[in-house]
Each structure stands twice: as structure tokens, then as C-alpha cells.
Amino acid sequence: MKHLSDIGEDELIRRLVALVPTGKSAEGPGDDCAVMDKGGERLELLKTDALVEGVHFLKDAEARAVGWKAVARVISDFAAMGGVAEHFLVTVALPGSMEVCWIENFYRGMGDCMKAHGGVLAGGETCRVPEGSAAVISVAATGSVERGKAVLRSGGKVGDEIWVTGKLGGSLAGKHLSFTPRVEEAKWLVEHFKPTAMMDLSDGLAKDLGRMALASGCGFKLETELLPLTDGCSVAAALGDGEDFELLLAAPVGMDVAGWLERFPHLELTRIGVLVEQGEGDDLAGGWDHFA
Amino acid sequence: MKHLSDIGEDELIRRLVALVPTGKSAEGPGDDCAVMDKGGERLELLKTDALVEGVHFLKDAEARAVGWKAVARVISDFAAMGGVAEHFLVTVALPGSMEVCWIENFYRGMGDCMKAHGGVLAGGETCRVPEGSAAVISVAATGSVERGKAVLRSGGKVGDEIWVTGKLGGSLAGKHLSFTPRVEEAKWLVEHFKPTAMMDLSDGLAKDLGRMALASGCGFKLETELLPLTDGCSVAAALGDGEDFELLLAAPVGMDVAGWLERFPHLELTRIGVLVEQGEGDDLAGGWDHFA
């Protein structure tokens, strides 16, 4: 009898998707979000994301920060496609002993992030879990991206250079609860850098870069000495900590960062490697797996 | 210090919605689903709904039936507005010790319901809860309804007759896991019965009829002797058991059920009361509150 902890998250998703109708979307499950073509000027983006007490946040975490994170994670996924958030649906499953002020502050934090980075609440559900069970928060949202401007994980080409925004590693020290989703940065990159593939770094560079390369039918060669490390962090931390929520992208050779430095003087944009033929290049261990 | 169990679900939602931006939707949080006008021929519907192990299903429940229920509940909400489901986003938060075949069968059950009643999977997430925690399943979806055909809870008028489909009560004996969402029935009613208000019965007639009347600015007078009872069920069970997932509607006086009987010969459509002036009529106790 196999248990969830015996198979990886990616393998589980592949098995499950085969069991339900998935219809004709521009892109199916597997990218940062699903892309739906409903015939309008903009494509619709769909995403759901969950936070579990004891896994994604601790019981004594500040509720307002957890609310920020719950919304910022989803906005980060939309940004990674070049899009913006529109309507949020929020489910909070909590024990009845939870204090009302906790959930109120959680909602305040979600509101802070929507006001700062886009989107509004369209609906929500509150339900009870048995006492002693972990609280589970699920945030689903619709978003949109201009037709022709959606950047998938799968468009990378052999020879494309690999870039990353910001610094990597050390998220658990606090950044994982207070990060800024890179909405404006992604929009600028789509306009000026013409990325062939893009995603946000949620499970650590080691795992996520492998995913982007695989989706693009490529391998990758990483120049670890170029990695932009958070102060005090090792290369291993930059590869494996996860929850950086920076943008990872592939772009044609020779892009110039001068325009970026002018527009975003306080945020690094660093070339860290190159896409190579599949089966060649590096094979990184590490990163976050939800059931490992 | 107030806890969630000290205040009702409706009061909690009122408090929370005030803390986040909600934008301009055709209808905000509070109806069966949110209605969004994006300018097309159809309005977009949005809904999220959760199932908690030990609350909405038992640990030994058949996984395929739980999957059916998870999707059918959401489709039922879209039907209650006169609409259909389009794209599903599914989050399953499970302990790592959960057997892979359980979640596979759960997905099969979701697929059964999508194939039978509409909608496709657009994306999903699997995540881990600590061992011993209840499994939580959250299903969000987009749907749509023809412009001008959306039926809200809030359109009921004093004097409108109150109708209900099917039989009420006794859902825990099994119906709650295998019910049929009333998609075709709702579509027929919108065309032929011109309902002024409609919703699906999830928390029991006692609670849900009060909600529909309140949203419509009315009271209600129930003729309990007319209630269509599930075999072996009492009036109290019909009022309070919840999870009937039948349609509750208000319609102008004098609607004729002849056409219904021809179209749906095996499903009751029963007049059970009338909307009256607010502050008059009945005041029912009972029904399901998620935190009571």
C-alpha cells in the first residue's frame, strides 16, 4: 500500500490529473497558474494555493503577516506569468477555539496585500476543523494577462540565459511572511527582457529550476558562484530553503540590465546560468517537496 | 476574548468582509456564489467550498463518493443562480500517511461529477497537514450564467410563493454523499417559473429560508404540513438536518407545476409557504451553523 509520503508531489499531480476531465485550456495544470482563453482581450488566469498551520506558518505567527503571505503567494504566481490578480476566494478551516481577533487580523493582512498589489475579495468560506487539527487556509483567485503576453515555464530554449531577481536563501528568518510579490518587476521584464520562460521561486531554486528546464525540454548549467545570496546564507540555503518568491526566468542571450537598474535600483537582477540540451548540465538535489 | 464558537458563521462573515477590499462585483459575498460582470455575454460566477474530515465526511467514507460530493456542492451553488460550472481548482490538504489510492479515488469521484454535470479541472494543489490533523479539501470554481438570467437570493417580493424541489431531511443516511445537483431543474425553473429568488439548501431549510427572506427584505410564513418529507423523516429533520442540496425558490403567485411534472416526472416541486412583510411570519430555530 503506497502512502503520499512514498511518492513525490510532482508524481502525485501527474497521476491525479489523468483521473479527471481537464478540457481545453491554453495551458493545463502544471504551470504557475492555469491560463484560460475565453475569447476576450485578456486571458484568464486561475490559481489556488494553501497554507497549513505547522507547515507554512507557526501557531504563534502574527495573523496579519500570515494573511499577507496567503494573498502574496497567489499574486506572485500571477506575476510569474506576466499577469495580475483580480478576484480572490478564501477558505479558512479553523478550530472553534480559535480567537475571533486572529481571523480578523488574518483578513486585515490579506486586505493589506490586495490594496498594495491588486485584487479584491469575491467570496469566502469559514468552516470548522476538529479541535487539535491544524488550521488550513486555501486561497483561490482569478487573474488576467494581456493576450500574447503570458509567459509560461515551458518556452525556454537551449542557449537562453537564466536570471533571477533579488537574493536567495534564508526565507525562514522572516522573508517568507513579508515578501513583496514581483508584479511590477515581472511586467517590466515581459516588456523589456522578452523572457522565454518564467516562474516564481516557491520550492527553492534546486527544485524550481529543474522544473522550468524540464517543462522547456532543456537541461541547465548553473554558475553557483554567481548566485545572489541573502546575507549570511550559503549556496545550499539559496538552492534549498524555498519560499524566496523571486522571479526565475530564461531570456535570449545578451540582455542588458541597464534599464532594470534604472527602474528598480534596489533589487538585484542576476544572470546565474544557461539552458542546455536535455540530459546535459547539472542535476541538483534539494528543495522543498510537500510530501517528502 | 471571543472565540469562533462564540459567534455565528453569518456574523463572522459580516465582520471579515468589512476588512478587505471587495471591489465592484454584480453581487458581493453572501449569495450562493459571487457574480462578476466582465462585459461578455455571460456573467462569471465564482464559488469556493470546503469539506473537512470528521465534519463533512467520515474517515471511512468512500473516497469516490467524497470526491463526487466535493464537486456536486459547488455545481449545486452555480445551479442555484441559474448557472453552470466551468473550471475547478482543487486543494487537498492531507497527512503524509494517507494512502495514494484514497486520493486517486477521490479524484475519480470528482471526475464522475464533472462529466455528469459540467466543468473541468483547471488546477490543483496537494499539501501536507501534520499527522493526526483532519484532512481538508477545498474546491473553488468559476462558472457562468447568461446575462439577465442570474437569480439571486435577494429578489423575493412580499406575496411570492415559496417552493422547494425534491424531499427534505435525512441526508446523513447517505444522500449527502450522492446527491444530484439540480442543474437542469434550475435552468427549467429560470425559464418557466421566473423565480424572484433562489438558493440551494445546504444548511437546512430553517436556516436557509431565513437567509433568503432576510436577503429579500421579507419575512416568511411556512406551511409545515406541506413540507415534502423524506420517507421516515420528521418535520424537524426536514427543517434542521441540512445538506439536502435541493433548490429553494420564491416565485410570483399562481405558478403551474404541470410543465414541471412533464419535464421532471420523478422529482417533486412543492409549494411550502409565502414571503410576507419583514418582522411578520415565522421565526424558525434549527439548521446547521459551522461554528455553533
Domain boundary among B123, B146, B169: B146
Q: What pLDDT shows up at residue A56?
A: 85
Whole-number percent of chain B with pLDDT over 90 = 73
Where does residue B68 rank: exposed (0-12), middle (13-18), buried (19+ CB within 10 A)? buried
Residues whose CB falls within 8 Å of the CB of residue A7, separated by 6 or more in sequence, listed in order = A15, A291, B100
A20 within a domain of the structure (yes/no):
no
Query: Are residues B213 and B130 part of one domain?
Result: no
* CB within 8 Å: B120 and A22: yes
CA proximity to B244, closest of B156, B168, B137, B136: B168
Q: What pLDDT shows up at residue B26?
A: 54
Give the DSSP letter string of A241-283.
S-----EEEEE-TT---HHHHHH-TTS-EEEEEEEEETT-B--
* ipTM entry: 0.88
Query: Are residues B98 and B44 part of one domain?
Result: yes
For residue B112, give the chain A residue with the closest CA: A20
| Beta-carbon-side half-sphere exposure of residue A140 (alpha carbons within 13 Å) | 29
Cα A123 vs. chain centroid, distance in angstroms? 22
Query: Are residues A46 and A117 part of one domain?
Result: yes
Residues of chain A with Cβ-Cβ distance to B101 below 8 Å are: 1-2
Which member of A89, A91, A100 has the closest CB to residue B3? A100
Whether chain B has a CB inside 8 Å of the CB on A40: the answer is yes
What are the pLDDT digits (tens) for B165-186?
A: 999 999 888 788 889 999 999 9
A142 within a domain of the structure (yes/no):
yes
Q: What pLDDT shows up at residue A292?
A: 47
Query: Are residues B95 and B33 part of one domain?
Result: yes
Point out which residues pair with B94 in neighbouring strands: B128
B47 within a domain of the structure (yes/no):
yes
Which member of A16, A48, A121 has the closest CB to residue B104? A16
Residues of chain B with Cβ-Cβ distance to A122 below 8 Å are: 22-23, 25, 28-29, 34, 36, 46
Q: How many CB pairs under 8 A join A and B?
A: 277
Q: Which CATH number does the domain housing residue A197 bear? A: 3.90.650.10
* CB within 8 Å: A48 and B103: no
pLDDT band at B146 (very low <50, low <70, confident <90, very high): very high
Structural domains in chain B (count): 2
pLDDT band at B292 (very low <50, low <70, confident <90, very high): very low
The H-or-E segment that residue A163 falls in is strand A161-165
- Residue B32 to residues A198, B49, B57, B59, B199: CA-CA distances in angstroms? 36, 10, 21, 28, 6
* CB within 8 Å: B140 and A48: yes
B156 within a domain of the structure (yes/no):
no
What value does the mean pLDDT of chain A take? 91
pLDDT average, residue stretch B32-41: 87
What are the pLDDT digits (tens) for B236-287?
A: 999 999 999 999 999 999 999 999 999 999 999 999 999 999 999 888 765 5
What are the pLDDT digits (tens) for A189-246?
A: 999 999 999 999 999 999 999 999 999 999 999 999 999 999 999 999 999 999 999 9
- Chain B nearest CA to A106, separation (Å): 9
Residue B138 grid cell = 477545498
What are the pLDDT digits (tens) for A92-135?
A: 999 988 889 999 999 999 999 999 999 999 988 888 999 999 99
Query: Which of A10, A16, A66 should we substitute to test contact with B (largest number of B Cβ atoms within 10 Å)?
Result: A16
Point out which residues pair with B139 in neighbouring strands: B49, B90
Query: Are residues B220 and B124 part of one domain?
Result: no
Q: What pLDDT shows up at residue B111?
A: 97
Q: Which domain holds residue B138?
A: 24-146
- Chain A nearest CA to B268, separation (Å): 30
Please state, in angstroms and rounded to a whole number, the distance separating the CA atoms of residues B2 and B4. Answer: 7
Q: What pLDDT shows up at residue A91?
A: 94
* CB within 8 Å: A125 and B48: yes
The H-or-E segment that residue B93 falls in is strand B84-95
Lowest-confidence region among A51-60, B60-69, B199-208, B247-256: A51-60
What's the sign of the alpha-carbon dihedral A243, A249, A254, A259? Answer: negative
B199 within a domain of the structure (yes/no):
yes
- Chain A nearest CA to B58, separation (Å): 12
Where does residue B266 rank: exposed (0-12), middle (13-18), buried (19+ CB within 10 A)? exposed
Point out which residues pair with B129 in neighbouring strands: B95
Residue B65 grid cell = 463518493
Q: Which CATH number does the domain housing residue B112 bear? A: 3.30.1330.10
Whole-number percent of chain A with pLDDT over 70 = 95
A167 within a domain of the structure (yes/no):
yes
A18 within a domain of the structure (yes/no):
no
A13 within a domain of the structure (yes/no):
no
Point out which residues pair with A125 in neighbouring strands: A91
Residue length of chain A: 292
The more confidently predicted of residues B243 and A286 is: B243
- Chain A nearest CA to B257, separation (Å): 34
Cα B54 vs. chain centroid, distance in angstroms? 20
Query: Are residues B209 and B125 part of one domain?
Result: no
